[in-house]
Amino acid sequence: MAKVTFNEDRCKGCELCTTVCPKHIVIMAQDRINVKGFHPAQVTEQDKCIGCAFCATICPDVVIEVEK
């Protein structure tokens, strides 16, 4: 099973990662704000992640790490 981790304080909320996830499990957290004042990205259902790393590849700020 793949594991996705986010450095939430570096996330600028661009939402690019949410557009490329084939499983549609990457969303913007609406319940919190990071140190930059943005809603950070998060994975809703970690067990559904297939480890494709599309989210990490598209992230312009290298916020996302995918472990397989």
- For domain 3-67, say whether CATH 3.30.70.20 is its number: yes
Question: pLDDT tens digits, residue range 6-62?
Answer: 999 999 999 999 999 999 999 999 999 999 999 999 999 999 999 999 999 999 999
Non-local CB neighbours of 27 within 8 Å, separated by 6+ positions: 18, 41, 42, 43, 44
Residues 22-36: tens digit of each pLDDT: 999 999 999 999 999
Structure tokens at 41: 């990205």
Please state the domain extents for the chain.
3-67
Q: Say how far apart CA 64 and CA 42 lie, in whole Å.
A: 9
The Cβ-side half-sphere exposure at 55, using a 13 Å CA radius, reads 30
The pair of structure tokens assigned to 63 is: 């916020």
Q: What is the pTM of this model?
A: 0.91
Q: Is residue 1 over pLDDT 90?
A: no
Give the HSE-up count for residue 16: Cα atoms under 13 Å, Cβ half-sphere. 15
